[in-house]
Amino acid sequence: MLDEAKEKLQHHFGYETFLNGQERILHHVMQRQSVLGIMPTGGGKSVCYQIPSLMLPGITIVISPLISLMKDQVDEAREAGIPATFINSSLSYDEMQERMDLLRRGECRLLYVAPERLSNQEFLRQLQSIPVSLAAVDEAHCLSQWGHDFRPAYMEIPRFLSFTGSDTAVLALTATATPQVAEDISHALDIPPDQMVKTGFARENLTFSVVKGQNREAYIVDYVKKRKNQPGIIYANTRKEVEKLWEKLNKEGIAVEKYHGGMEAAERETAQERFVYDEVTVMAATTAFGMGINKSNVRFVLHARMPRNIESYYQEAGRAGRDGDPGDCTLLFSPQDAGTHQFLIDQSHLDEDRKDKEYRKLRQMIHYCHTEDCLQNEMLRYFGEEPQDPCGRCLNCTDNRTLEDVTEEAQMVFSCVKRMRERFGKTITAQVLAGSSNEKIRTLNLHTLPTYGLMKNKTQKDVASFIDFLAAHAYLSLSDGAYPVLMLTNAAIDVLRGTERVMRKETLTAETVSSEDPLFEELRQLRLELAKQHGVAPYMVFSDKTLKEFCRYRPQRESEMMEIKGVGRQKLETYGEAFLGVLQRAAAGEVKS
């Protein structure tokens, strides 16, 4: 049985061996046993139901949270030569009939639906004559109230499973599951606890960084400019912020789209498509964007603000590098973000117990931003995994900036905050220290403080950014609310007493990611054209990783091309010739490289 599965893996996907966990999941599924698969993004979850759909007698239904995603999922399967279809509210009655007929005749055995469909009477009536061998629940954490993405419609799934009967195996899949969430999923779908396949969470191709106390906008612009042609997502927390970022990047000449809840559905769809189809490189979005987007060549995910918990962060950041090629995950931290989340939890309608849980998660997120340990390991610990050797890639593992002693300046700021009785915010404090002649300072009589003008050799902006640095490193805390005031923490008091010193690293600047080699660019261009002709997204033609293997091994004929990871039969037939054409020209020295 597994031999046959392996043969399908080679034939349809062009891979010789299974990834960690895939084989164990297939083993359960092919014996019609229910199983919970917890694998990180990019772990190869879809293969775990796509291959069984070709081998099991009845159909495989994939329950997937977003309608907008289904077309992509189906296109991707079809590109690999797997007959698949979806049924959702965008179809007319006749179209739906047609697709049900295909399923009934066994011409198509892989069906994608949204959870809402499972309680549609007409759909259920039609399914009575079609045996369902496997129900795959994608993004299964949506079943859990403790997860960060609870979806009431997912609660329909158990009832649906009792409708299809005991011959239907269940495959629940998710990338984010704390033990609590895993338990909820198993419980809801009746999956025995020993039928859980969990692979490591570590993503060897991702590089995590937390950047603190820097000018946010300037950093983002610089970062994006240094990543020419690299597709990436920038997450912000509010619509307004997304708009601002979009405008700014647009002005800087970057091909950027935006996505947030304030846009029309059609506008959002176009924006998403332009990003997925490589028509723009950057997407500025709220976290409404990207749930399960399958685009595999996202090269960076930049968070302009701290997310509210580590689960959300890992899920969002994990959208980088699904194809296994390098992905950069950077989080820009500023302490106000913590205050905002705190405020939102406060104001929410959650019960006290739930609020406490949310606060705890928030504190863990803040801890992640402050830790000096390996960031990858910090993440693993959160998900209940034993940390490994430090990753050697994250900013904490690689940071070798020199340290500067800034104790004296820090003492000036702290004593000023103290003199101002911890009643003012950053701007006014910076004005006082820089000796501003602002009228408000005089009205408040702050110009008579002994700390007035103490840092007048610096600009007000520099002082403000130094205050940001001190807050980011938890020497100063900020009160909640719309006008946060600065307060001293115990660490600051130690510094004032002279028992602790404050060290600051040089400013961090984004690294330039070297521009691609000309052959890769040429292959990428060809991929874009072919994708347009075939009406699919470029990553569905071949992944970035496969293109890089082309550059490395330079196959010259079909048999050599078949050896490359990611080249299956169908893709070879559809696209092989065109790519071989470029590779042969390169071998003849006609493409610079």
Q: Does 374 bind Zn ion (CB under 5 A)?
A: yes
DSSP 153-181: GGGGHHHHHHHH-TT-EEEEEES---HHH
Q: Does 391 bind Zn ion (CB under 5 A)?
A: yes
3-state SS, residue 321? coil
Q: Does 322 bind ligand ADP (CB under 6 A)?
A: yes
State the binding partner of 391 from Zn ion, ligand ADP, none, CB within 5 to 8 A by kind.
Zn ion
Task: In whole angstroms, give the CA distance from residue 319 to residue 317.
Answer: 5
Cβ(293)–Cβ(276) below 8 Å = yes
Task: In whole angstroms, give the CA distance from residue 226 to residue 185.
Answer: 42
Q: Which stretch binds Zn ion (CB under 5 A): 43-51, 172-180, 371-379, 380-388?
A: 371-379
Is 246 or 277 the residue whose CB approaches ligand ADP more closely? 277
Is 34 or 296 the residue whose CB approaches ligand ADP more closely? 296
Q: How far is CA 583 from CA 248, 395, 579, in A?
A: 39, 37, 6
State the binding partner of 15 from ligand ADP, Zn ion, none, CB within 5 to 8 A by kind.
ligand ADP
Q: Does 66 bind ligand ADP (CB under 6 A)?
A: no
Q: Does 42 bind ligand ADP (CB under 6 A)?
A: yes
DSSP 421-438: TT---HHHHHHHHHT---
Least distance from C-beta 313 to Zn ion, angstroms? 16
State the binding partner of 44 from ligand ADP, Zn ion, none, CB within 5 to 8 A by kind.
ligand ADP
Binding mask 95-124 for ligand ADP (x = CB under 6 A): ------------------------------
Q: Does 397 bind Zn ion (CB under 5 A)?
A: yes
Least distance from C-beta 15 to ligand ADP, angstroms? 4
Is 77 or 271 the residue whose CB approaches ligand ADP more closely? 77
Helices 460-472 & 335-347 angle (0-180, nearest 10): 60
Q: Does 44 bind ligand ADP (CB under 6 A)?
A: yes
Is 144 or 209 the residue whose CB approaches Zn ion more closely? 209
Which of 241, 323, 522, 549 is the binder for ligand ADP (CB under 6 A)?
323
Positive or negative, the Cα torsion across 216, 222, 223, 228? positive
Indicate the residue type of 85. T
Count of residues of this chain found to bind ligand ADP when the rule CB under 6 A is applied: 19
Which of 26, 35, 39, 417 is the binder for ligand ADP (CB under 6 A)?
39
Q: Does 137 bind ligand ADP (CB under 6 A)?
A: no
Q: Which stretch binds ligand ADP (CB under 6 A): 44-52, 55-63, 395-403, 448-456?
A: 44-52
Q: Which stretch binds ligand ADP (CB under 6 A): 13-21, 64-72, 270-278, 528-536?
A: 13-21
Is 51 or 345 the residue whose CB approaches ligand ADP more closely? 51
Rg of the chain, C-alpha, whole Å: 27
Question: How many secondary structure helices (H) and strands (E) does the chain include?
Answer: 26, 17
Sequence-separated (6 or more) residues with CB below 8 Å from residue 188: 143, 144, 155, 157, 158
Indicate the residue type of 152. P
Is 325 or 468 the residue whose CB approaches ligand ADP more closely? 325
Half-sphere exposure of 533 (CA within 13 A, CB side): 10
Least distance from C-beta 372 to Zn ion, angstroms? 11
Nearest to 290, CA basis, from 579, 471, 66, 461 = 66
Is 466 or 575 the residue whose CB approaches ligand ADP more closely? 575
Is 198 or 458 the residue whose CB approaches ligand ADP more closely? 198
Task: In whole angstroms, give the CA distance from residue 550 to residue 523.
Answer: 9
Which of 18, 201, 223, 383 is the binder for ligand ADP (CB under 6 A)?
18
Task: In whole angstroms, give the CA distance from residue 9 to residue 16.
Answer: 7
- Across the strands, what pairs with 359? none
Least distance from C-beta 563 to ligand ADP, angstroms? 14
Task: In whole angstroms, give the CA distance from residue 200 to residue 184.
Answer: 20
Q: Which stretch binds ligand ADP (CB under 6 A): 10-18, 129-137, 251-259, 450-458?
A: 10-18
State the binding partner of 397 from ligand ADP, Zn ion, none, CB within 5 to 8 A by kind.
Zn ion
DSSP 213-246: SS-HHHHHHHHHHTSTT--EEEE-SSHHHHHHHH
Tell me which DSSP letter residue 385 carries: -
State the binding partner of 47 from ligand ADP, Zn ion, none, CB within 5 to 8 A by kind.
ligand ADP
Tell me which DSSP letter residue 9 carries: I
State the binding partner of 572 from Zn ion, ligand ADP, none, CB within 5 to 8 A by kind.
none
Q: Does 15 bind ligand ADP (CB under 6 A)?
A: yes
State the binding partner of 394 from ligand ADP, Zn ion, none, CB within 5 to 8 A by kind.
Zn ion
Indicate the residue type of 26. L
User: In a 10 Å sphere around its CB, with 0-12 CB exposed, 13-18 middle and 19+ buried, how is residue 588 labelled?
Assistant: exposed
Q: Which stretch binds ligand ADP (CB under 6 A): 40-48, 53-61, 224-232, 555-563?
A: 40-48
Which parts of 515-544 interact with ligand ADP (CB under 6 A)? 543
Task: In whole angstroms, give the CA distance from residue 327 to residue 272.
Answer: 20
Q: Which positions lie near Zn ion, rule CB under 5 A?
A: 374, 376, 390-391, 394, 397
Q: Which residues bind ligand ADP (CB under 6 A)?
A: 9, 13, 15, 18-19, 22, 39, 41-47, 294, 296, 322-323, 543
